[in-house]
Amino acid sequence: MKTQRGLSLVELMVALTIGSVMIAGALFVYMKSRDSYAVNDAVARLQDTARYAISVIEPDVRMSNYWGLVKGAGVITDQAAQTATSLGEPTSCGTNFAHDLLTNLEGDNNSYGLGCAAYGAGAVGSADTLTVRRASAATTVSTAGMLQICSTRLSARLYSDGGVCTAAPAGQVNNLIVSTYYLSRDSEQPNRPGLPALRRHTLINGPAFQDVEIIPAVEDMQVQFGIDPSGTNGVATQYINPGAMPAGAQVVSVRLWLLVRAENAEVGFVDDRTYEYGDRDDDNGVTADLNAIGAATQAYRPNDGFRRLLVSRTIQLRNALGT
């Protein structure tokens, strides 16, 4: 009988206590592992977004000032500056916006200055824009309605009537590429107003401009141009914000900053960091709203539940001094 009397109350309580401690420990480890996985997944998504955005912009910028068989845009006929009389096509983004081949790179500093409207509620108020003009890397055939460059080793012309280009092998046809990168306040994703997105105005057949979304959750873009003041050696000696270019200077590189934001807020997380990049400096003040009046040049301190990743890339132009 003594060997079959079972557990005493004290032994049962001790066993329950030990079991409870072990279960609580297992639950704690599980919850911490789940939280760690969620954070790592959010950071990975931010990195993927930044990597993709850079992979789209970088090759476009790197090929800037490529014009087919000619060296430099100065010999291309039928182009026109944006300050000249309008050639009539296409005008949606501004007078001669697609025809200003001598300005192979330009941008708006802390503003959106294009004639074509931004998507949704408009552009992010204090973000920069970046416009790239060049010839396509692949050759093609003359196509009516498409702005194209017909080039030989000695001359080139810009046309869109689908006319005959100089016969090969002396000449070739390349499509004109004009791309303006900007940030919109809203994304095309359904039911996601207020989610910023990287977008691009792209020259298409018509000729016309098409506004397409590249990727959502890019919150800010800042751009600076590395210039060679002499315009002769192709080495950047200083970086300036988009705007007035010193006479005789040549853009030889582009420095780009992208601030990527998580699509959803994270419970229990607060991003209280101060972001300084490009011409954003806390000496000019601090803002929590990139669309606020006066937010330009101010450092950014969001104080919200979204994780962020700031990335930077300096892109060297292959054709800084011509083809």
> For 242-280, what is each residue's pLDDT tens digit?
987 888 888 999 999 999 999 989 888 999 999 999 999
Q: Which residues of 291-304 are buried (b: 16+ CB within 10 A; e: fewer)?
A: eeeebbbbbbbbee
3-state secondary structure of 282: strand
Assess contact for 271 and 302: CB atoms under 8 A: yes
pLDDT for the residue 286: 97
> For 152-187, what is each residue's pLDDT tens digit?
988 999 999 998 887 666 789 999 999 999 999 999
Percentage of the chain beyond pLDDT 90 is 70
pLDDT for the residue 239: 95
pLDDT for the residue 4: 61
Question: In the structure encoding, which two tokens stand for residue 232, read together?
Answer: 């002769």
Q: How far apart are CA 229 and CA 171, in angstroms?
A: 33
pLDDT for the residue 175: 97
Nearest CA to 124 among 313, 280, 281?
Answer: 280
Q: Is the pLDDT of residue 31 over 90?
A: no
- 323 compared with 266, residue with greater pLDDT: 266
What is the average pLDDT value for the chain, to the nearest integer?
90
Average pLDDT (221-234) is 90
Q: How far apart are CA 285 and CA 278, in angstroms?
A: 14
> For 63-108, what is each residue's pLDDT tens digit?
999 999 998 899 999 999 999 999 888 888 999 999 999 999 999 9
Q: Is the pLDDT of residue 205 over 90?
A: yes
